[in-house]
Amino acid sequence: MQSTSHLLMIRPVSFGFNEQTAVSNAFQTKLGEKNEVQEKALTEFNNMVTVLRNNGVDVTVIDDTPEPHTPDSIFPNNWVSFHSDGNIFLYPMQAENRRLERREDIINQLEDCFKVHHIVDLSRFEHDHKFLEGTGSMVLDRIGKIAYACISPRTDKDVLAVFCEQTGYKAVCFDAVDEHGKAIYHTNVLMCVGSKFVVICLDSIPNPHERVTVIESLQSTRKEIIEISFEQMNQFAGNMLEVQNKNGEALIVMSQSAFKSLTEVQKTALGKHGRLIYSNINTIETNGGGSARCMIAEVHLPFEQ
């Protein structure tokens, strides 16, 4: 299955602009005083959880801890991913303060409900200054077993190759830049892969051969390609996620800014593949440089009997 109704989200206690990640994340802008930013982010987080739960999605919420200081803990999909074979992957993170987000107690809590077969810890690559930041660095076509990845300081080909070797995924790599020619830090900013669709900013792939390779890969899996512009990408329209509710209905989760940026034609195209739901997370997007998809770690683990 491409999507799941079981999600993990981390409630922030000290969210804020992360100086360590801002070097490679052009989407971050420091806006507001520290306490004010945390307060607004907490409200936005809680509202988004409410929207998901009101639409029948099972959300496990775990509180962040005041110590150690982890301003980006609200984005758990970068340090962990959960797979249907019972495997959990832990990832190497570029920013030192993001490495502190990895928490064994979170995995232990999930083991109360889900089967965990094996934990694959790739964080050892941090010693070699090689990084792969989970489903931020990779956009996974779980049905087609394809890992789309734009290469950046946070996404290393060698670590990606190890992930693919361990999982049986095929890597489709490419370079991607914003409208100013700066490398895009995470693949999930420019594209979202659903069961039968993909949202993608093809203009961000400057190499025509790589662009064709990506298009051909998407077409081979019979996905409808819904293109977005640089401007829409900057409003996080590429940072969507297909999930299910408990009734098996497909939902496409995004931020309010992403939803507002879409044209009616795009909304209609997306609406064929799932019901669009959204929430206002402007403070999180501005200071954190990530959006709705970044806030969600999908739990594909099998249930404990």
For position 288, what pLDDT does the model report? Answer: 86
Question: How far is Cα of residue 242 from the mean position of the Cα atoms in its chain?
Answer: 11
Note the pLDDT tens digit of each residue in 256-305. Answer: 999 999 999 999 999 999 999 999 999 999 888 899 999 999 999 999 76
For position 103, what pLDDT does the model report? Answer: 95
For position 14, what pLDDT does the model report? Answer: 81
For position 32, what pLDDT does the model report? Answer: 62
- The low-confidence residues of the chain, meaning pLDDT below 50, are 18, 22-23, 27-28
